[in-house]
Structures are given as C-alpha cells and as structure tokens.
Amino acid sequence: MGVLPDHLGQFRVAQRWWWRRRPGHRILPQRLADGTRLELDLGDRTQALTYLTRRYCDELIAQIVGRLPDAGLLFDVGANAGLVTFQVAHRRPDARIVAFEPNPAAVAAWLRNRRLSPSRSVTLEATAVGDRLGSVNLDAPATDLGAGLVAPSGRGVEVPTTTLDAYCASRGIDRIDVVKVDVEGFEPEVLRGARELLAAGAIRSLIVELNDGHFARRGGSRRAIVEWLGDHRMVPCGPLDADDVTFAPAG
C-alpha cells in the first residue's frame, strides 16, 4: 500500500486490517514514502496505520514545511511518537523543532525514533502544555498513544504542565514560526497559555486540530476557538471545516 499514490483507499483497508487482527505490541522499522525512517509499534493503532500505508498526515506535513522559513522554529505540541516531528525534520533538516509530549509511553516511542533522525536541532520536552504551571492527570489507552485525554484527579498518570508563554519566557524565545497543536480537546487550554505570545505577534502560523467530538466532551466548540483566536488577532487562512485549521496574524 505504501508505494501507491495517496487517497486510493489504503487507509480504510489498513484500518479494517488493524481492527480485525489487533496485532500485539511489536516494533518494526519502516521507511515512509518521503524517506523518513521510523520504528513503529503495531500494537498502537496510529503507528500501525502509518506502518502499513507508509504515510502520516501528508497535508499537515506539507502545510508545516511550507510555512517554515530557512532555519525556522516549529513547536510540535502533542508530539506522540514523533510522526510529525521527524517527517518535518527529514524534509527540513535546517529547521529547529521543539516537541512537547507528556505521555510516558509516547515519550519512549519518540526517543526511539529520535535515534534514527540525523537532525541535531530536534528536542523533546516531556510535559503537557496548558494554561497554567503545575500538573494534570492523563489517561491514555495502550493501543492508541495519541488518544490521551486529560482525566479527573486519581485517574491515569500525573504529568507536569507548562505554558507556551512561560516556556518561551524562560528561554528567551520571541518568535515561533509554526505552532502545531493536537492535544485531543485540550487545545483551548494550550491557546490560553499563549496569550502573551499572541498579543506580541510572536506566533507566525498556528495549526490547530479542531475535533468537534473532543470539544463536545469538554463543553467547548470549534466556533468558540475560532472566535477566541479572532479576538487575539489570529485569523483562519484555510477551510474551517478541515481537521487541522491554519491561522495567521491578522493583517
């Protein structure tokens, strides 16, 4: 399936195979269609589908790569096993990438893939990103590391949290070329924790997953995020019905 052009139905075939077979945790090397080298766990749904199709979010990767200037800076918030991080690093070895991932199992997978990447400008922060410093509880199924949800106290595993404002202030970062946010419904908290960066126009492009199902569970909505970002002078520059919506500073 990996040698076929994209969008020929191979994702649906791979998904049906995974749900019927439910393979156990087995880590196998794979080279994606763009040449990125990864080690992927067949017991994790997202990694297994990536292994079978040799692709992961081609449109998202192209959007990020196209918005990074020379030696640009990407924040990958919700990095999972590094499927976005290392595809971008492969295509743009000049870029600097900071990945944020709190799930210990996903952190281990990210570090495993880091060993396969020749880029020296890729780092990982093993923390959640939200609207305050402290900690949250994360509940993530072992068969889908990317589906981790912030859970009530006493459930899941406690992980530290930071904010983008605090992180950048502590490191003297005054410009981020692209921020990608995919955190299973916790996106509003991530954005609220970047108020100062947004006010300063320090984020040049923002790519946010807007998943109506996740927002409904947390009492939010796609429209509320778009309006909130509009109040902070970030306007959409892509279709609002897409899974990942790109925003840029107004004007």
Q: What domains appear along the chain, each with residue ranges and CATH number?
A: 1-56 (no CATH), 57-249 (3.40.50.150)
Res 154 pLDDT > 60 = no
pLDDT tops 70 at residue 189: yes
pLDDT at 49 (0 to 100): 95
With CA atoms as reference, report the closest residue to 248 among 239, 238, 193.
238
122's CB contacts (< 8 A; 6+ apart) are 85, 86, 89, 96, 97, 99, 114
Looking at residue 132, what is its pLDDT? 95
Q: How much of the chain exceeds pLDDT 70, in percent? A: 94
**Does 140 or 190 have the greater pLDDT score?**
190
- Residue 136 tokens read as 């949250």
pLDDT of residue 3: 78
- Which of 85, 69, 68 has the alpha carbon at shortest distance from 77? 85
pLDDT of residue 249: 96
Mean pLDDT of 133-150: 75
CA angle at residue 153 from 152 to 155, to 5 degrees?
Answer: 75
- The pair of three-digit structure tokens given for residue 122, joined into one six-digit string: 């890729």
Query: What's residue 142's pLDDT?
Result: 64
pLDDT given for residue 201 in this prediction:
96
152 pLDDT exceeds 90?
no
- In this prediction, residue 176 carries a pLDDT of 98
pLDDT at 153 over 60: no
Which of 178-182, 194-198, 209-213, 234-238 shows the lowest per-residue confidence on average (mean pLDDT)? Answer: 209-213
34 burial level (CB within 10 Å; 0-12, 13-18, 19+): middle
* Residue-averaged pLDDT of the chain: 91
Q: What is the pLDDT of residues 105-133, one digit of tens each?
A: 999 999 999 999 888 899 999 999 999 99
Calculate mean pLDDT across residues 50-79.
96
Residue whose pair of structure tokens reads 């998943």 in the numeric block: 211
